Amino acid sequence: MLLGFLAKDWFSPAVSPLGEFSYDLHRQLAEQWGGKERWGWSESAGWSLDRPNDEETGKNGDPAVASNEPKTDLDWLMNGTSRTTVITNPQVSPSETNGLDDVYPRWLQTDPAALQLISERTTTGQVDPLQLCRFLLEQCLANGVILHHPARATKLIKTNPNDPNSPTLVHLEVVETIDDKGHSESSTSSPRTDSISSSIERSSSSGSTSARTPSIREHSVWGDRRTRSIEISCDSLVIAAGCWTPRVYRTLFPNAKKVPKVSPLSGHSLILKSKRWPAEIVDANAVPSSLPRVCHAVFTSDPSGFSPEMFSRVGGDIWLGGLNSSTLPLPNLASDAHGMISRSSIRTLTDVAKKLCGDDVEVIEEALCFRPIAPTGNPIVAKVKERDLGEGPKPNGGVFLATGHGPWGISLSLGTGRVVSEMVLGKETSVNVDGLSKWDI
Ligand SMILES: Cc1cc2nc3c(=O)[nH]c(=O)nc-3n(C[C@H](O)[C@H](O)[C@H](O)COP(=O)(O)OP(=O)(O)OC[C@H]3O[C@@H](n4cnc5c(N)ncnc54)[C@H](O)[C@@H]3O)c2cc1C
């Protein structure tokens, strides 16, 4: 369960062009397709909440903030502090926050004087990531994309092993859950959300149908799961496997001398309900209101040593997270994370929720997810040089990396998708991402 906070200008210089571009794409997409109703898009006011222990350490419990040391994305990522440490100039001073009734987070049970508005509604926003992904997938399928899900890419093969220029195939292991009668429950066109992994291809009117039609090679049964292997043609390959990118890269390019470094930063989170933040009735047929309801992002610190982040959402949920760890091991499958949830982390978050929102707040969901962190703290959006793929089959159109988005993968998602598609097509990219090409450090 991810959050979906979006920012226009909370990024380091190398990421800024992509950050702004992506934020604008989120707004345009929402305006064009009814994003408020369909995926909970909304503007969001950002607040910093000073709590008593902040005095010794500076805002957000981070000593470096008190000493005015310059901060980078990497500092707060690695130290588990708040993402607001990257904002050097809050846009609104405490004295100016009087009269900001329409953006004030009424669901918080705290002293209003301790709150400072740090971002305007026009430069920060929110989406429900699951609903946004569902919408995007629907559009992809409607436009001819073929989805194999859940699936794992396991090998690259040349159709003619003696000719390095012959077409390349990707060997996929498609995993299906089977019911009591041994029937498969999965289908290539109806994705489930408990993904193992997925692979997509674009059907093309210029491509030969036989080359595009996956050929099924073999079946095997594994517990209540059945796997079948298929091969699909591959002109270009985009590896966008988050924290699993190094594993996928090593599997597909076993002779490569170096592998992109992406490490996991896990985060526990809760979804809460409070009677002080009721759901907004959102009617898909209603005339869009001229002044949309503003959601909230609240950043604070806690004496237990972490930096809680809270977000009120269009659907009447409040999301609470910020309890992060770089030592929790990455599970083999993304869907295994749920079984790794720590009870003590959930208790810590629940205590914070009650302190900040009142004892009557109700926990309705618990989650654990992994952010992909690259060594620079910035995403990697790059075409891989052929020599870095090592000996062996490779797609003729090239291999691209889109990973390492850390805490900003939802905000940067639309821009990254657009830019990577332009790279694959050999076009000039909409924004300059040269600063994001470093992956072999
Ligand atoms: C608690 C938490 C809160 C967050 N909040 C925000 C936020 O508010 N705003 C924001 O912008 N970002 C947020 N993020 C960050 C954001 O979720 C990530 O940056 C983003 O999910 C990264 O996307 P990705 O597609 O690169 O990787 P993932 O979302 O991790 O997806 C990688 C996929 O690759 C698949 N895969 C693995 N192995 C293989 C294989 N062999 N073959 C094929 N596929 C494979 C996996 O199954 C997985 O589905 C948050 C993250 C966490 C953990």
Q: Are 394 and 253 in contact (CB under 8 A)?
A: yes
Task: State mean pLDDT over 328-357.
Answer: 94
CA gap 358, 360 in Å, rounded? 6
Question: For residues 218 and 259, which has the higher predicted lDDT (pLDDT)?
Answer: 259
Residue 150: asked if its preceding bond is cis (omega within 30°), the reply is: yes
CA angle 7, 241, 133 (to 5 degrees): 55
| Encoded amino acid at 208, one letter | S
**Chain-centre distance for alpha carbon 379:** 12
> Which ligand 1 atom lies nearest to the CA of residue 324?
1
CA 410 to ligand 1 center in whole angstroms: 8
pLDDT bucket at 291, cuts 50 / 70 / 90: very low
Find tokens 């909409």 and name the residue: 430
Locate 366 and state its tokens.
Answer: 């618990």
> Which ligand 1 atom lies nearest to the CA of residue 406?
19
Residue 73's pLDDT is 47
- Count of CB atoms within 10 A of residue 220's CB? 10
- Count of CB atoms within 10 A of residue 225's CB? 15
Please give the torsion angle defined by the CA atoms of residues 82, 87, 89 and 93, in that order, rounded to the nearest 10 degrees: -40
Q: What is the pLDDT of residues 114-163, one digit of tens each?
A: 999 988 788 999 999 999 999 999 999 999 998 988 888 999 999 998 99
> Which ligand 1 atom lies nearest to the CA of residue 7?
11
Q: Please name every residue paired with 155 in a beta bridge, in sequence order, or none if there are none.
A: 171
Residue of 3, 20, 239 to mutate, ligand 1, most atoms within 8 A of C-beta = 3
Residue 220's pLDDT is 64
> Which ligand 1 atom lies nearest to the CA of residue 240?
26
CA 95 to ligand 1 center in whole angstroms: 39
CA 404 to ligand 1 center in whole angstroms: 9
Domains observed in the chain: 1-145+235-441 (3.30.9.10)
Residue 102's pLDDT is 67
pLDDT bucket at 227, cuts 50 / 70 / 90: confident
Residue 365's pLDDT is 95
Residues in the chain: 441
Region of poorest pLDDT, from 100-114, 118-132, 355-369: 100-114
> Which ligand 1 atom lies nearest to the CA of residue 335?
47
Region of poorest pLDDT, from 19-23, 36-40, 139-143, 428-432: 36-40
Q: Please name every residue paired with 173 in a beta bridge, in sequence order, or none if there are none.
A: 152, 229
> Which ligand 1 atom lies nearest to the CA of residue 196?
47
CA atoms within 13 A on the CB side of 80: 17
Q: Are 153 and 199 in contact (CB under 8 A)?
A: yes
CA 371 to ligand 1 center in whole angstroms: 6
Task: Determine which residue's CA is closest to atom 1 belonging to ligand 1.
Answer: 267
Residue 76's pLDDT is 53
CA gap 372, 311 in Å, rounded? 21
Residue of 20, 172, 410 to mutate, ligand 1, most atoms within 8 A of C-beta = 410
CA 97 to ligand 1 center in whole angstroms: 35
Query: Which residues form the pocket of ligand 1, taking CB atoms under 6 Å from any ligand atom?
Result: 2-5, 152-153, 195-199, 240-244, 248, 267, 269, 321, 334, 369-372, 403, 405-411
CA 221 to ligand 1 center in whole angstroms: 28
pTM of the model: 0.85
CA 198 to ligand 1 center in whole angstroms: 12
CA 320 to ligand 1 center in whole angstroms: 18
> Which ligand 1 atom lies nearest to the CA of residue 409?
19
CA 13 to ligand 1 center in whole angstroms: 23
CA 379 to ligand 1 center in whole angstroms: 12
Task: State mean pLDDT over 247-263.
Answer: 96
Task: Determine which residue's CA is closest to atom 27 belonging to ligand 1.
Answer: 242
Task: State mean pLDDT over 261-274.
Answer: 95
- Best-predicted range by mean pLDDT among 95-109, 225-239, 276-290? 225-239
**Chain-centre distance for alpha carbon 383:** 21
SS (H, E, C) the chain: CCCCEEECCCCCCCCHHHHHHHHHHHHHHHHHHCHHHHHCCEEEEEEEECCCCHHHHCHHHCHHHHCCCCCCHHHHHHHCCCHHHHCCCCCCCHHHHCCCHHHCCCCCCCCHHHEEEEECCCCEEECCHHHHHHHHHHHHHHCCEEEECCEEEEEEEECCCCCCCCCEEEEEEEEEEECCCCCECCCCCCCCCCCCCCEEEECCCCCCHHHHCCEEEEEEEECCEEEEEEEEEECCEEECCHHHHHHHHHHHCCCCCCCCCCEEEEEEEEEEECCCCCCCCCCCCCCCCCCCCCEEEEECCCCCCCCCEEEECCCCCEEEEEEEECCCCCCCCHHHHHHHCCHHHHHHHHHHHHHHHCCCCEEEEEEEEEEEECCCCCCEEEECCHHHHCCCCCCCCCEEEEECEHHHCCCCHHHHHHHHHHHHCCCCCCCCCHHHCCCCC
CA 344 to ligand 1 center in whole angstroms: 24
Residue of 405, 412, 419 to mutate, ligand 1, most atoms within 8 A of C-beta = 405
> Which ligand 1 atom lies nearest to the CA of residue 412?
11
Q: What is the pLDDT of residues 16-35, one digit of tens each?
A: 999 999 999 999 999 999 99
CA atoms within 13 A on the CB side of 191: 24
Residue 60's pLDDT is 34
**Mean per-residue pLDDT over the chain, rounded:** 82
pLDDT bucket at 182, cuts 50 / 70 / 90: low
Residue of 197, 237, 247, 312 to mutate, ligand 1, most atoms within 8 A of C-beta = 197
